[in-house]
Structure 1
Amino acid sequence: MPPFRKLLRRLAALSAAALLCAPAAQAHPHVFADVGLALDLDAERNVVSVEVTWRYDDFFSLLILEDMGLDADGDGALTPAELTALERFDLDNWYEGFEGDLYMYSGEQKLTLGAPEFVSVSVDEGRITSVHRRSVSPAPADGLVIEPYDPTYYIAFEASLPITLPAPCTAAVAKPDLDEAERKMQQELAQIPEDQFLEIEPGRDFADRIEVTCAAS
């Protein structure tokens, strides 16, 4: 099993133990990642592919490097061979049905995204940045809605990196109502048995919403 999935399973187990011991029902992410997107459009301004950047938090990056036996001297600088070993650490063996924590909508239509193609990986300031590209079933860019999130909320994604696409199209990020998202999650937790806490999927309520508009030429 890839290190990324191993760590997520380990964190999920820790989360389950913490929830069962907690005095009150609660859930929170264990991994944090900044997200950036670059959309490719065709001549008719249909989105045809998306390049996805994930920049992981420093603690999770450290766990990945330690699990893979990389950066043994701890200087934060990986050798070319170590960077090669790190390639696709979060892309290989996506399980059947996994949607890559990225959801795109054109009106009421949910778009189909292809398998991830590795673009690059780097480590700077103690954080791993992974970039991959996915094809998108063509749809008009104008009115496109994009939501990067982990349904289980083990990973908290934030669209804090650049969102780029060709002019005259632009993207705006709408932040979630965190208080309302927390209220909904607590309400759901209160209605299910403790041993099913990990079955809920509150991630979308905490998700940034990226909205694309294209000005008339």
Structure 2
Amino acid sequence: MITTHFGSRFAAAILIIFLAFPKLAFAHPHIFVDASFEAVADASGDLSELRDTWRFDEVFSSSVLLDFDKNENSTLDPPELAAVAKTIRTSLAQYNYYTSVTINGKAVSLNKPDVIHATYDNGSLVLTFTQRPAEKTLLKGLIIFGVYDPTLYTALDFANDTDLKTSGEGFSRCTRKVVRPGSKEILAENQAMLTTLFFNDPTGTDYSQLVATRLEVRCQNG
């Protein structure tokens, strides 16, 4: 059970979204993150791990400081940072750590990060962590990597295309591109879906996925 204010914020975000689901189109983020992402492949062409770094905005970071600075020295010491990281690892498990991977339209199951590392740098909370596929995952066909909050409560921003990377020998036979959907593109491709009925249907297509920046990789057969 999550007892900290920080954990409660993530849980409360979901409750708010469901209570106001008919107005999902007007949802807006309350937490802002400068993010970077790296997908790593091994020599056999399998996806080996995903690496994330998130730098939170100073307003949210300040609220974390208020919640976790137990000795009131205006910073987060190593034991306090460990408590932050543990809380986040628990809180975000149900949202798959905002990470989505599909291969030819099929979702790839990911393990929880073994550990989340937290630092407090110039007034900002910074998290780094690694996820690995739950089973052997060959990179073949179209692979789509997305890092986004399905509740729209947190905005993860990749400022430059280079903030979404691939590395490792397994990606040598792949091409990649970063896709940043614009409003016209979203409307053109999903016009039939983006209706009043859609926004009132909790089982409908994930709107947050439509608007999220994503990394698309196409790999040839081995």
TM over 0.5: yes
Counterpart Cα distance in 2 of 1:3 and 1:93: 11
Name the structure 1 match of 2:147. Answer: 148
5+ residue gaps, structure 1, are none
Name the structure 2 match of 1:205. Answer: 210
1:107 to 89, 104, 107: 104
2:87 is the counterpart of 1:89: yes
> TM-score, with normalisation over the residues of structure 1?
0.73
SS at match of 2:111: coil
Name the structure 1 match of 2:44. Answer: 44
Counterpart Cα distance in 1 of 2:208 and 2:121: 28
Which structure has more helix as a fraction of its residues?
Answer: 2
Percent identical among aligned pairs is 22
Residue 16 (structure 1) shift: 8.4
Residue 182 (structure 1) shift: 8.3
Counterpart Cα distance in 2 of 1:109 and 1:67: 39
- The letter for the 2-side match of 1:204 is Q
CA pair 151-11 structure 1, distance change in 2 beyond 3 A: closer
Counterparts of residues 3-22 of structure 1 (less than 5 Å): 3-10=5-12
Residue 102 (structure 1) shift: 0.9
Residue 26 (structure 1) shift: 2.2
- The letter for the 1-side match of 2:144 is V
SS at match of 1:49: strand
- The letter for the 1-side match of 2:63 is L
CA pair 71-14 structure 1, distance change in 2 beyond 3 A: farther
Residue 147 (structure 1) shift: 1.1
CA pair 5-123 structure 1, distance change in 2 beyond 3 A: same
2:160 is the counterpart of 1:158: no
Counterpart Cα distance in 1 of 2:31 and 2:92: 18
Residue 47 (structure 1) shift: 0.7
Residue 145 (structure 1) shift: 1.2
5+ residue gaps, structure 2, are none
Deviations 1:84-140 (A, max 9, x none): 3333331125565x3221111112222111112214211112211111211114121
> TM-score, with normalisation over the residues of structure 2?
0.72
- The letter for the 2-side match of 1:105 is T
